Structure formats: C-alpha cells, structure tokens
Structure 1
C-alpha cells in the first residue's frame, strides 16, 4: 500500500483491521524518522560527553532555550499539516498547495527572527538558567553557532510537516536517515579531529548539526517540488493574508502550548541546575535515553493527526473518532513495553555516557520513574495529535498551561528542592503532570468535546474544508 496520499483520495476503511493497517502505513515511517531524530540527540550527547560534563550541561541548557524556537516552528508545522490534510480530504488540492507555500514563507520569516534574537541575546538568555561560568562560556559558543542559522531548523520542521499533511511520511523518514548519518560522521570528525581537520570540540558538534540541517532542508524542498499535489507555483509565494490568517489562527494556540511548556521547562530546569552540575548532566543524559520511547508515541500521533484531519475535511466525524481511538490503544500497548525496558535497563544505559557512579545511579532512578509513566505519555501524545487534527489546538494549550505551571513546576520545587528528593523528585513531578493531562484528554475525548467544527465567517466559508460539496466545487474552480 502506498503511504503517499494524493489529493483525489479520502482515506476510508471498513473495519478496524483495515484502519490499523492504514495507521501502520503512516506511523511506521514516522516512527523510523523519530528514531533517527532521537539518534541525532543520542549521538550528539554521546560525543559531547567525551569532552566533559560541563559540555553536556552547556548543550543541554542551550537546547532547553532552542526548544522555545522549536515551539514556534512546530506550531507553523502543525497548522500546515492539519490544513493540508483537511483540504485534501475535502478534495481541494490547490488550496492545500497554496497554504503549504504560505507556511514555508512564514517559516522563513520566523527563522530569520529567531536567528537575530540569538545573535544579540545569547548570553542573557543563557544567564536566565543560572548556570555556572564555565558552562555559560561553552553554552554561548554552541548557542550562537546553532541558533543564528535558525532558518534551517524552521524549514526542517515545516517542510516535513507539509509532506506529512499530504500523507507522505516516507520522505521525511528518508531525509532523517540521511542527515543523521551525515551528523554522526561530522560529529566524530569535527569534535575529535581527523587527518588534516583540527579538533574543534563543542564547536565541531554545533557545525555538524547546522550542516546536517542545511542538507535536510534542501532535500525536503526537492521532495515537495516533485510532488504532483504540492509542487510549487510561482504566484503562491506572494504573501496571502487569508492563508496567513488561517495558519496563525490554528497555529497560535499550538505555539502557545509549546511556549508554555518550554517556559515551564526553563523554570524547573533552573531547579535542576540548583541540584548541581552532575545532577543536571544526569537529567540531560536520562532525557536523551528516555526520548527513544517517544518515537512510538510521536509516530502514531503523526498518523492520528493525518487521518483525523483527512476525515474531518471529508465530514466523516465518526471515522475520525475511530482512527483516534485505535491509534491511542495501539500506542498505549507499545509504550508500556518500552516503559518496562526503561525501568529495567536504565542503569545499564547510563553507563554508556559516564563512569561516574553517582551520575549513573541518578540516570537509572530517573529512567525507572519514566518507565512507569510511559503508557500515560502514549495517550497524551496521540490524543493531542488527534485534537490538533480535529482543528482543536486551544484545549491542549489550556491543559498544558495548567499541567506545566500548576502541576509540574510546583511539584518539581516541592519534591526536588523542599523535600530534598533530588532528581527523583523532578522525574516524579514530570510523570504526575503527564498522567494528569492524559486523563483529562481521555475524559474530553469520551465526552465528544475534542473536535473544533465551527464554521468560518461567510467571507471565507466557501473555501472552508467543512462546508458543503457545492461550495467546495466553487472554491475548487476558483483555484
């Protein structure tokens, strides 16, 4: 079965087995892509750990700030992904093509903006984390090299999301494999030196990351332009107020959700930093190991967003619900298995990064706690993707605000600092937040309060993916 969904197709299935096969067709390439993206972080952390724990902390703190940039880029990608899926489900291919190019324009603008922020505010942003002077120096160096060319980060997020919105999860997977091979090779060569190439340390790690993202952006551009559904039209590059409004209206809550999450992370990262450099290094390493478990969840969340978006666009709301539920059940079972592995193999995994017994013990403790909460994480990821595919980006934003600030950040302070539970307290707080948000999403889903089906204003409704077939025909003729 092809995993690229052309504009003339609306995804349909007659039974749960057929639905599951379709979910797998879309999810497996996304899982593989996430695996290689995870490898990128794993390889970076592994090689940087050979420089020293201060370098690990520098990269970790920098990535915590860069995650705020990712929030903006991912929000544009979410909006593009959902709208493209909606319009292809409604059989409006030109609408999908137009909005995909407008999302690229938006990605370029935000990439340039965040690059300028990095250029002028690298040190002040890092100082907000309360890091030690040796970490600050390394962090500022790494931050500027990786952050100034943020346009490549932005394009990677948005171009991949465009392809997924059209049902093509295979091309982003291929690109992920290519850039991770490039990054791994360059990491080794540039960090430690090879033949005539000098040893560059943390600068080499940063340059490897930037170059791999540049290559990835170029290949993704190629895949989109060769698609019969999404190939570029010159006149679609001109800024279009209507499409930009669609993207920002849907993407703003997604951006808000991510930014609330990242802002909360910066606050509680400060609490982790207060536990000491070794504790923060252990936290960072544990996070890079744990993220392997995310690949299943994110893969099935991708499938859920695409399939729900397609069915919403086609007006098949019951079918959208079936796809969301089946994706969540399968991911729950899969991540329960991965959680078991994290629980029993955490100490062993920590030994790959350091020989410090205290750090290894902290890594093992963190991963045991993480393993317990993996099934909840599966439900959280898939249902968030389903809500977004149903054009409901606001509720996940509100829920994230409550979970991150009223649950996670407060509990990190109470458990890790006040009760002196250390890193164990941090990871217990994270797990409780994940479980809380997963349960709330399940309740909303069961109550049927997860789709955002309000009609667009009359001036826009003739091209809205949820209007009548007659209006869709008129809109298609306009394109």
Structure 2
C-alpha cells in the first residue's frame, strides 16, 4: 500500500479547517463512541474473569488500580500534549514539524513509561504494603504487576499513536484499534487465566499476559498505520535539537494535563471516605453510581477526545470563529443529550437498582444517587469540554487550575457541607451544586477568550 500524504488523506476523510463544524464533530465523534463502548465492555469482561478466581485475586488486582492509573495518567497527559501540538502544526500547514512531534512523542513516552515501570518493579512490596495490601496478597500482586510493567511500554501505541491519528482528523482508525485490542484481551483472558488445550492455567498472571498481548497488537497496528500507510512518523532517529524542541512542546501541555488527570482519582478517594461515614450500604451505592456515571457520560468523554484536535487545527490556522463555534455547538448538544440521559436514568432507577443489589437499603441509596447527581452530568460535560479546549488552545495551566478549583473548591467542599446538614442526600445535592457553579465559571472563562467576532474576522483575546 502506498503512503498517503497527510493533506490528501484529510481531504478524503474529514477536513477540520473547511468542513461544516457540527457535521465534522459528528463524523469524528461517532467512531470514538464505538471504540470506547467496545473497550469498556471488554474491560468489564476482564474484571469478570478475574473475579472468578476468588476474592483474593480480585482484591489483588484492585490494589493495582492506583499504580496502573498513575502510569496511564502520564501517557494520557502526554497524548493530550501530543495531539494539541500536532494539530496546531497541521493547522499551520507545517507537516514537517507535525511529523517531528509525532516521532518525538513516541520516544519520549516510551522512555518515561519505561522509567516509571522500572522504579515500580523494584519497589513493588513496599509500595503495595503502603497502599494497604496484606502480605498474603503480595505474591498475587507480583504475578500481575511484573508482567504489566513489561507490557506498559506498549502503551505508546494505543495512547500516543491514536493521539497522532486524532490530531490529523482520523478518529475511525483509533476506534478500530481500541476495539480490536479490547476484543483480543477479552478472548485471551479465559484462555490464559483458566487454561485451554496446550495453554496451562496461569491465574491472575494470565490476565496480565492477555493485556500485554492486546497492547502489543495495538502498538504494531498503530505503527503500521503511522509509518507504512500514512507516513506520520519518522522511521529514523530525529536530530537531537529537533527531538528536544518537540519534547519541550509536548511536556508543556502534557505534564499539566497528566496532573489534572490525577486529581480526579484523588478527589474520588476523598469523596468515598466521606460516603463511608454512612456505612457499607452507602459505599456500595456510591460505587454503583460512579460506574453508571462513566457509561452515562460516554458521549462527553468521546467529545473530549474529538473536540481538541478540531480546536487545535483551527487555532493553528487562525480560524478562531470556528473554534468558538465548535465549542458552543458541543456544549449545546451535551446539555440537551445529558438531560435526556437524566430522564432515562430517573425513569429506570428502580430497575437499575434491582440489577445491582437485592438489599432494600442499598437499592434505595442507588435510586437516591440516580435522582440527584445525574441531573448535573450536562454541567459536568461543560467543565470537561472546557478543560480539553483550553489544552487544545495550548493553555494547559488554566485547564489544570480549573480542575483543581472544580474538585477541591466547589465539588468536595459543597458535598461535605451538604452532608453535614442533610446527610447523604445533602452530599449528593452539594456535589450537584458544585458542578453548577463550576460549569458557569468554566463557560464564562472560555468564552472570554474571544472578543465579539464580526463575520470573516479571527480576532481573539488571548
């Protein structure tokens, strides 16, 4: 297959600089939704098979989440930085710099992830003991993490390679890569965990091997696309000066973005601690609600991946009127969509609760969660899309500050105050109110980046 020039490929698919804004965002987002649904489904399958090994194995893999999420947060952050820098270069028609950044991002991420994993490998016992793991769980944690650390370098494929493709306007290929890797993981899980034919049962280690193979497939797939099909990265080493320059540009956005990602699980841990004061039933209900949130906000998450490349390309091309239009179109859609999702959840609350539990107390608390917090998912969508848009405008510190203010000035304090006066219902209502305030702040701050635009002008307050 002959290599395709970047500009030619975009003309065949989505032209982020010329195609109608709303239709372009739609064409970019739908494939991402498919890929994320597939990935989330197979991740649930992964957890299901590990749970069949027993409570100890499930507990062991649960302890790995904070560590694996730390590594994932760094790669996601670097992916955000990569996408923003490349898309801006493409918007300026500077395809050489875009290719340099894409290549540098692969090297940079591989080195950082390898170093993090190497450190993690040598401090496994003290690290997980600090996290609260009992000595009896450490052998199982080693079985999983020792393999996971080896495979983690392959994350440059699905995380960075896909970011490069999205920056160029291609969201269909990343969705195929995500879905295919998830499918491979789901198929291999039972084979390696429980054994099949000549393959011996490997327990929790088998789950890690299945993950490694799926990531390796994703890496090979994306490298083929980037080098052989579209020629988006160099196959030879970059000159040191160009490599360092590209790395600086990526880290300028990537490090704050990674930091913002890591604030979310920290806030979730604090929120869980507050909820825990109301007993195990409250924690169980909150856990169910949190999982429902990731599904209910799927469109928001997909848009948060497709909106930034659009914004960055048009920012690079100086077409700020399209940046503002895209942001407002996405916000309006999310508000309407999430209201519909809220009514669907509210109507189905009783049935949803009965699926997750047979205990009346837990079921009542799940319904309470559904009737209150999802009402603010559209507002939460405004916050998420605003943060990703600021990253796309190469203003990562504003995005980081907004994430901090949202979680630790609005969301958690108001939830805590609500719980003091009105119990668990007050906690949920306070969290909802925090999203209301933060959505107004976020929207106002982003729209202030633009002066009133006259037709055909691209002036901006930056």
**TM-score interval (norm. to shorter):** 0.7 to 0.9
**TM-aligned CA distance change 1:252 to 1:30, over 3 Å:** same
- 3-state DSSP of counterpart to 2:398: helix
Equivalent position of 2:340 in the other structure: 337
For residues 116-169 of structure 1, what are the alpha-carbon distances to aligned partners after superposition, in whole Å with 9 as ceiling and x for unaligned?
Answer: 232123344444444667777755654444345321234421111111011111
User: C-alpha displacement at 1:38, in angstroms?
Assistant: 1.7
Structure 1 segment 240-259 matched on structure 2, within 5 A: 240-259=243-262
**TM-aligned CA distance change 1:371 to 1:46, over 3 Å:** farther
Q: Which residue of 311, 326, 329 maps to 1:326?
A: 329
TM-score, normalised to structure 1's length? 0.80
Unaligned runs of 5+ in 1: 451-465, 467-479
- 3-state DSSP of counterpart to 2:10: coil
User: C-alpha displacement at 1:297, in angstroms?
Assistant: 0.8
Structure 1 segment 347-366 matched on structure 2, within 5 A: 348-349=351-352, 363-366=366-369
1:298 is the counterpart of 2:301: yes
Measured in 1, the distance between the counterparts of 2:361 and 2:246 equals 53
User: C-alpha displacement at 1:221, in angstroms?
Assistant: 1.2
1:225 is the counterpart of 2:230: no
**TM-aligned CA distance change 1:259 to 1:49, over 3 Å:** same
Q: Which residue of 236, 260, 263 maps to 2:238?
A: 236
Measured in 1, the distance between the counterparts of 2:126 and 2:277 equals 18
Equivalent position of 1:159 in the other structure: 161
**CA RMSD, Structure 1 to Structure 2 (Å):** 3.6
- 3-state DSSP of counterpart to 1:149: helix
Equivalent position of 1:406 in the other structure: 409
Measured in 2, the distance between the counterparts of 1:93 and 1:136 equals 49
1:207 is the counterpart of 2:209: yes
- 1:369 and 1:427 in contact (8 A); partners too: yes
Measured in 2, the distance between the counterparts of 1:85 and 1:104 equals 16
1:122 is the counterpart of 2:124: yes
User: C-alpha displacement at 1:242, in angstroms?
Assistant: 1.2
- 2:282 and 2:362 in contact (8 A); partners too: yes
Equivalent position of 2:111 in the other structure: 109
Measured in 1, the distance between the counterparts of 2:203 and 2:423 equals 34
- 3-state DSSP of counterpart to 1:236: coil
Equivalent position of 1:445 in the other structure: 446
User: C-alpha displacement at 1:321, in angstroms?
Assistant: 0.7
Measured in 1, the distance between the counterparts of 2:304 and 2:397 equals 17
Equivalent position of 1:379 in the other structure: 382
Measured in 2, the distance between the counterparts of 1:157 and 1:125 equals 25
- 3-state DSSP of counterpart to 2:297: helix
User: C-alpha displacement at 1:35, in angstroms?
Assistant: 1.5
Measured in 2, the distance between the counterparts of 1:391 and 1:118 equals 31
**TM-aligned CA distance change 1:139 to 1:9, over 3 Å:** closer
Measured in 1, the distance between the counterparts of 2:142 and 2:295 equals 28
**TM-aligned CA distance change 1:429 to 1:119, over 3 Å:** farther
User: C-alpha displacement at 1:85, in angstroms?
Assistant: 0.7
* 266-275 or 378-387, larger mean C-alpha shift: 266-275
- 1:102 and 1:240 in contact (8 A); partners too: yes
Measured in 2, the distance between the counterparts of 1:433 and 1:139 equals 37
User: C-alpha displacement at 1:274, in angstroms?
Assistant: 7.5
Equivalent position of 2:454 in the other structure: none
For residues 28-79 of structure 1, what are the alpha-carbon distances to aligned partners after superposition, in whole Å with 9 as ceiling and x for unaligned?
Answer: 1112122222223322233344445665554444223322222211111111
User: C-alpha displacement at 1:442, in angstroms?
Assistant: 0.7
User: C-alpha displacement at 1:366, in angstroms?
Assistant: 4.1
- 3-state DSSP of counterpart to 1:232: coil
**TM-aligned CA distance change 1:45 to 1:433, over 3 Å:** farther
Measured in 1, the distance between the counterparts of 2:47 and 2:152 equals 20
Unaligned runs of 5+ in 2: 1-6, 452-458
Equivalent position of 2:37 in the other structure: 35
* 149-158 or 233-242, larger mean C-alpha shift: 233-242
Measured in 2, the distance between the counterparts of 1:54 and 1:273 equals 22
- 3-state DSSP of counterpart to 2:169: coil
Measured in 1, the distance between the counterparts of 2:282 and 2:379 equals 25
